[in-house]
Structure 1
Amino acid sequence: MDETNRRELPRVVVDPPLDGRRRVTIDGRDVGVAVAPDEVALMMRRAGVPADRIALDDPDLVEWQGGGRDDWLAAPPD
């Protein structure tokens, strides 16, 4: 991705996993809690990122804190 395209896309931060969930912020705005990578992608689409530009493994777009896109703790039983 070139520098011009990076500036056009929002910055996505996915917090460390906690109780099977991960808080997601886009450009510093809290957009919710995800329990799987596909939910992060959905939040990105809702924030205006074109589907063909969503790359969950692109560190210039998504910052995974406390583990990568495949690191999710199991939710506690009800």
Structure 2
Amino acid sequence: MAWQTPIVVHPPEARDGRPVSVRGAPLGNAHSDRELVELLRAAGLDEADIALDDPHLVEWRGAGPHQWQPAADG
């Protein structure tokens, strides 16, 4: 089985922020870095283990890191 990042921040949704999953299990939606860290803490990750800019830990899909709103059309 191919190795995958343990944390995935999925593409932004219009009003619901970005869905977040850890090892394939959905955690909820985050609207900011702060909310993302809170979700990860609630899932049992220690703050020392949370490095949002580490591509080996977090995969940002569909939009860049720290982007919480969908791209504007046009």
Any stretches of 5+ residues in structure 2 without a counterpart? none
Identity %: 40
Following the alignment from structure 2 to structure 1, what is the Cα–Cα distance between the partners of residues 50 and 64? Answer: 16
Following the alignment from structure 2 to structure 1, what is the Cα–Cα distance between the partners of residues 48 and 36? Answer: 15
For the aligned residue pairs, the C-alpha RMSD in angstroms reads 1.7
Deviation track 1:40-78 (CA, whole Å, cap 9, x = no partner) reads 11111111111112100011111100122221217xxxx
Instruction: Provide TM-score, normalisation by structure 2.
Output: 0.77
Shift of 1:17: 0.8
* 2:7 corresponds to: 12
* 2:68 corresponds to: 72
Higher helix residue share:
1
Following the alignment from structure 1 to structure 2, what is the Cα–Cα distance between the partners of residues 25 and 42? Answer: 13
**What is the 5 A alignment of 1:53-64?**
53-64=49-60
Count matched residues: 65
Counterpart of 1:30 (choices 12, 26, 42) is 26
Instruction: Provide TM-score, normalisation by structure 1.
Output: 0.73
| Deviation >3 Å, runs of 4+ | none
Shift of 1:37: 1.3
